[in-house]
Amino acid sequence: MNVLFIVLNEVQYLDDILDSFVDIGVKGATILDSQGMGSAIAGGGRGSQPLFGSIRLFLDDAKPYNKTIFTVIDDDKVLAKAVETVCNILGDIDKPGVGMMFTLPVNNVYGI
């Protein structure tokens, strides 16, 4: 059993990802509004520091908020299909600004 985390910077793809999860058999997911550290620092008034000022310039065109999706998946085939589907929807997830995705093993789950 694994938990799949997706930090989605390109939030316009949220509905596509959730629809695809339903199609492949993901039974549920939780979506959180989230914000990256760089965005929080740049917007937090620390702009007097040279590093933070540089971050602010870099992030001026970036969206300050994103979505974090997580889901517990107990079938390795469904997990692989979910990862593949997200990659297909987002294109090159390694491209800066798209987001990130990772999995972690889960030992005990209660309440599902």
Number of domains the chain contains: 1
pLDDT digits (tens, 9 = 90+) for 7-45: 999 999 999 999 999 999 999 999 999 988 877 776 665
Concatenated DSSP letters of the chain = -EEEEEEES-GGGHHHHHHHHHHHT----EEEEE--HHHHHHHTT-TTSHHHHHHHHHHTTS-S-EEEEEEEE--HHHHHHHHHHHHHHHS-TTSTTSEEEEEEE-S-----
User: Is residue 111 assigned to a domain?
Assistant: no
| pLDDT(109) > 90 | no
Nearest to 9 by CA among 34, 41, 29: 34
CATH number at residue 81: 3.30.70.120
For residue 98, what are the domain limits?
2-35+65-105
Structure confidence at residue 66 (pLDDT): 93
User: Considering the domain boundaries, does residue 45 fall inside one?
Assistant: no
Residue 9 covered by a domain: yes
Q: Is residue 78 part of a domain?
A: yes
Region 79-90: what's the mean pLDDT? 97
Is residue 40 in some structural domain? no
Predicted TM-score (pTM) of the model is 0.80
